[in-house]
């Protein structure tokens, strides 16, 4: 824990950052606040916006709270904003977009104004029951964590911090305004939010909060799959996902929302003949993140997280003392599809992640020998548009501490990528097709559309993969020879 001087210095630094950030958005925030004031209402910047301002990372998304009811908010916002939407009005939230000039640049602000409220779940409902409050203090006590329970009243810029959020922010710790049990009873999803903020902000979670998460883990079942998915995405896409995932596993929450992850804690046999699959998975996730390049990639990160989930179901102790996980990639792909579907992920993402899980061992199946043209074509064809991600996932899956072995695997994959590039120059690997299309097949064989056309197409595709492109006459000859054999 920091000493008194360090704490005072940290508080001073976050306050300085906040002043700088709030001055940056002042033209928009103050203008809106004056309109609420003229209508007889109060307005305050609140929650994540204040927290991010104090951290020096306030963006163009601004959250406000007010004593005005939603219909009054709409009346104030519509003449002022460039666009207004009320999809969240049932929860007391009105959204808006406002274009404004800040300094020398034009900015587009995404704004949400929410009426003072309190909300709680009952034990049979998946949706919060919303009731409106009459004071900002009443609103703040219902917030999830103290670092999100601060506000700045506008336009006077009066700082409101009844629960010591500024101190907790300086100490980088997550606590709840009231008791954790009350907070998590109000909305059990807050238990996942604790893990998400730990991962996003690299904060520690207070011991009493962790204890409540362990005691109340089962309450997460009342939350809808969609809300859990959205929170999980934010966690996985954060800078420190290991921190959040470990907290979910340690508190037992992962056993309800992503049970395949804690299941990777396989019991080690007495001779330790296989590595810790859970720890290996978290390392693979971090190594995949290091290869992303253009920002967080949800598909790649999910594939890294789920790539070995088939191992618990396929583990076998062989007679020679080895431990095997035969076909765990096939089993894992099916498990990934089932879990992601249950969490309501989009079909395309489910398909891509499952395919990456299925293919993540393909490279090792070829051994360390020279890659043939045929093997390269099939590897590229099977990966399709996921080839770049498969490269990253396969490289990330090497977590051996044996430097010579790791270097050999890296060189082998370098060679594969070189072979792909070489063949790419000669052939269109990204769109491998037979040398004759369906219409040509029907014309040459004198047949109508039907199963035979598909079989012929598949045969020519196999020839293309095995031997590379053929001249037209050569392809026609091969087709006729195949057809004659079918007739015989």
Query: What is the pLDDT, as a whole number, of residue 269?
Result: 46
What fold characterizes domain 1-171?
Answer: Beta Polymerase; domain 2 (3.30.460)
DSSP SS3 for 132: strand
What's the rounded Cα separation, in Å, for the pair 448 and 305? 47
What residues does each domain of the chain span?
Answer: 1-171, 172-258, 289-431, 438-487
pLDDT tens for the chain, residues 1 to 488 = 455 455 556 556 666 666 656 666 778 888 999 999 999 999 999 998 999 888 878 888 999 999 999 999 999 999 999 999 988 888 889 999 999 877 778 889 999 999 998 655 555 555 656 678 888 998 999 899 999 999 989 888 888 999 999 999 989 999 999 899 999 988 899 999 999 999 999 999 999 999 999 999 999 999 999 999 999 999 999 999 999 999 999 999 999 999 999 999 875 544 445 568 899 999 999 999 999 988 899 999 999 999 999 998 888 887 777 777 878 999 999 999 999 999 999 999 999 999 999 999 888 755 555 677 778 888 888 888 898 999 999 989 887 767 777 777 778 788 788 888 877 766 665 566 776 777 887 877 778 887 887 787 777 777 777 777 777 777 777 777 777 778 76
CA–CA separation, 375 vs 363, rounded Å? 10
Class of domain 172-258: mainly alpha
d(CA 61, CA 300): 27
Q: What's the whole-model pTM score? A: 0.81
Largest CA distance in the chain: 92
Q: Does 155 sit behind a cis peptide bond, omega within 30 degrees of 0 on the bond before it? A: yes
Task: Report the C-alpha gap between 205 and 185 in whole angstroms.
Answer: 18
Strand partners, 105: 102
366, 254 contact by CB (below 8 A): no
């Amino acid at each position: 824990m920091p000493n008194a001087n360090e704490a005072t210095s940290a508080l001073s630094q976050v306050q300085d950052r906040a002043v700088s950030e709030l001055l940056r958005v002042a033209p928009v925030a103050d203008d809106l606040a004056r309109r609420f004031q003229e209508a007889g209402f109060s307005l305050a910047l609140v929650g994540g916006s204040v927290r991010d301002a104090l951290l020096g990372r306030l963006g163009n998304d601004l959250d406000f709270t007010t004593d005005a009811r939603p219909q009054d908010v709409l009346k104030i916002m519509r003449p002022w904003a460039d666009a207004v939407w009320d999809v969240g009005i049932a929860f007391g939230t009105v959204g808006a977009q406002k274009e404004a000039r800040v300094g020398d640049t034009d900015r587009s602000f995404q704004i949400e104004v929410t009426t003072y409220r309190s909300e709680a779940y009952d034990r049979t409902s998946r949706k919060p029951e919303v009731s409106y409050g009459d004071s900002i203090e009443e609103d703040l006590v219902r917030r999830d964590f103290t670092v999100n329970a601060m506000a700045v009243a506008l336009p006077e810029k009066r700082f409101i911090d009844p629960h010591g959020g500024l101190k907790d922010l300086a100490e980088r710790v997550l606590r709840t305004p009231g008791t954790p049990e009350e907070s998590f009873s109000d909305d059990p999803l807050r238990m996942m939010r604790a893990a998400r903020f730990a991962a996003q902000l690299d904060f520690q979670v207070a011991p009493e909060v962790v204890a409540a998460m362990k005691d109340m883990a089962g309450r997460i079942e009342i939350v809808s799959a969609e809300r859990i998915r959205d929170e999980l995405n934010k966690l996985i896409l954060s800078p420190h996902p290991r921190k959040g995932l470990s907290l979910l596993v340690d508190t037992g929450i992962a056993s309800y929302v992503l049970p395949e992850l804690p299941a990777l804690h396989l019991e080690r046999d007495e001779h330790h003949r296989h590595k810790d699959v859970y720890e290996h998975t978290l390392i693979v996730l971090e190594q995949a993140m290091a290869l992303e390049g253009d920002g967080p990639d949800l598909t790649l990160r999910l594939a890294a997280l789920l790539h070995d989930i088939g191992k618990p179901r396929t583990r076998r102790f062989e007679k020679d003392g080895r431990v095997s996980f035969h076909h765990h990639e096939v089993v894992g792909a099916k498990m990934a599809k089932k879990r992601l579907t249950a969490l309501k992920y989009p079909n395309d993402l489910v398909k891509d992640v499952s395919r990456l899980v299925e293919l993540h061992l393909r490279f090792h199946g070829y051994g360390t020998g020279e890659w043939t043209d045929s093997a390269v074509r099939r590897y590229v064809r099977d990966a399709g548009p996921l080839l770049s991600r498969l490269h990253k996932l396969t490289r990330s899956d090497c977590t051996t501490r044996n430097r010579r072995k790791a270097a050999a695997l890296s060189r082998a994959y370098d060679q594969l990528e070189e072979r792909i590039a070489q063949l790419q120059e000669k052939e269109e690997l990204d769109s491998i097709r037979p040398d004759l299309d369906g219409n040509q097949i029907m014309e040459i064989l004198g047949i109508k559309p039907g199963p035979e056309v598909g079989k012929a197409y598949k045969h020519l595709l196999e020839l293309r993969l095995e031997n590379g492109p053929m001249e037209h006459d050569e392809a026609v000859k091969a087709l006729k020879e195949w057809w004659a054999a079918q007739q015989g």
